[in-house]
Amino acid sequence: MSAIATAAALSLPISFCRSNKFNNKRGVRGSFRVFAIIGEEGGLVEKRNPWTTLFEVEDPRSKVPQYKGKFLDVNQALEVARYDIQYCDWKARQDVLTIMLLHEKVVEVLNPLAREFKSIGTLKKELADLQEELAQAHNQVHMSEAKISTALDKLAYMETLVNDKILQGRNTIESDSLSSTPSTSSESPHTVKTRQRRRSLNVSGPVQPYNARLKNFWYPVAFSADLKNDTMVPIDCFEKPWVLFRGKDGKPGCVQNTCAHRACPLDLGSINEGRIQCPYHGWEYSTDGKCEKMPSTKLLNVKIKALPCFEQDGMIWIWPGNDPPTTLANLPSLLPPSGFQIHAEIVMELPVEHGLLLDNLLDLAHAPFTHTSTFAKGWSVPSLVKFLTPASGLQGSWDPYPIDMEFRPPCMVLSTIGISKPGKLEGQSTRECSTHLHQLHVCLPSSRQKTRLLYRMSLDFAPILKHVPFMQHLWRHFAEQVLNEDLRLVLGQQERMNNGENVWNWPVSYDKLGVRYRLWRDSIERGSN
């Protein structure tokens, strides 16, 4: 639409012409009269619609009688008043008609502009989307460059390892050829195969009773939130039953879950004034194991075994070993890092040996093959998975996954995962990610084929999820889904291990953290540093 046409279209269709004839009438100053609407080409546009019949009223001014210079009687005055009322009605109709015609014209003028404005807004949105895609493409290019650089470094490192291996093999062959005799020069294939496996771990079954040295640690066994003043928490630890409860002072205690009288399970009873009461004959024990009440009989000096117990970081800890417990000052915190909030605390009893479960938790290379229905759905399989760690450490980071992981003796696994949205990974390290998931897994050895798992999940984003009703049940459902994907495999391992198979035959590079856990455990059981 041209500027002239726009100006013409926006001009008001009102005539301010005075009627000379009507100006002579008493009490009438002037009038408005609608005559036409100016079109885009300058012509007159006749506006007709069903409502115009309401406005086809004759102008009453031509019928007003002439009483100029005359004295009006009552009838004449009433007639003049009647004509004035007719005029007011006619004038109101004309004003409404003018407003309606103006409204239609404004709609006609503004609609093309509105469509044009919408089109511009759409173009701006599309441009913003294109700019975002371009920025993502730039990031992908930078990430690809970084990955190429890392791959080249890996190739150089692997080339060095291969050269060293070849050199080592040549030296071994030369040494064997120099020291060989006719009786040893012809080794059987079985002997050669055994020599090749000299670096493997021997983790075969059936599982032996736990070494006493493995018990000389502080073990977290329950969450503080699960131990109320009037509740008990039964646990199994190293094949012995125990029960947790709070004493009169509110501090936790751990005693054997067996009454000294008739060996009844104490957790079937109740809490009475900070003492656990046996349901059989009502004997009551304090947190130090002393029997303080014996109904229906004389009080005897009876005491059941109690373990050292304390509360820290929202967890209940016990010392199941026979050696004196170490000081609590050296005990590291299990709370999530600063900026994280705890969203879920879950306890599960699993039918697997705790060492096999720890092996699974310390291994991330299995994720794109095992967890294809949960958190690793859609993950690509990298050409090389490495665990980057100091020469003798029990912590490090996964490459190429943005995950930091640590094994903390005696049975804890801590991990921090960098995420962008649920089920997705971004960046090559946790520092490059904007949001994170922190996990704590505690694998308490209940028995040789049973583990008590404590799982704590924390986030550094979405704090509102803590206030969503039933969210704890949803987190438990997700955790069970992930765990079930692992259990079907670990249970198969356990069955074969109990039949004598070695579950650590051929350790490879991404098994580094799991191997170090097994070496640590072996050193503890042998009594070495």
Q: What is the pTM of this model?
A: 0.63
Position 35 scores a pLDDT of 42
More confident residue, 326 or 148: 326
CA–CA separation, 387 and 331 (whole Å): 26
Mean pLDDT of 300-304: 96
Residue 288, classed as helix, strand or coil, is: coil
Tell me what the pLDDT averaged over the chain comes to: 79
CA–CA separation, 66 and 376 (whole Å): 99
51 has a pLDDT exceeding 70: no
294 has a pLDDT exceeding 90: yes
Mean pLDDT of 499-519: 90
Position 40 scores a pLDDT of 44
CA–CA separation, 320 and 217 (whole Å): 7
Q: Residues with Cβ < 8 Å from 413, sequence gap 6 or more?
A: 358, 361, 362, 405, 406, 407, 439, 440, 441, 443
Integer-rounded Cα Rg, in Å, for the chain is 44
More confident residue, 469 or 163: 469
> To the nearest whole percent, how much of the chain has pLDDT over 70?
73
Residue 380 vs residues 92, 143, 383, 385: alpha-carbon distances, Å: 77, 16, 9, 12
Among left, alpha and beta (phi > 0; psi -120 to 50; other), residue 516 is alpha
Position 70 scores a pLDDT of 66
Least confident of 198-207, 237-246, 323-332: 198-207
417 has a pLDDT exceeding 50: yes
Q: Model confidence over 114-170: pLDDT tens digits?
A: 555 556 767 777 788 888 888 777 777 667 666 676 666 666 566 556 555 554 554
- ∠ CA(311), CA(313), CA(316), 5° rounding? 35
Residue identified by tokens 């879920």 is: 344
Asked if 386 and 510 touch (Cβ cutoff 8 Å), the reply is yes
Q: Model confidence over 387-396: pLDDT tens digits?
A: 888 777 888 8
Closest listed residue to residue 510, CA positions, set 424, 352, 355, 382 = 382
Most confident range, picked from 50-64, 325-339, 371-385: 325-339
Residue identified by tokens 């975002």 is: 132
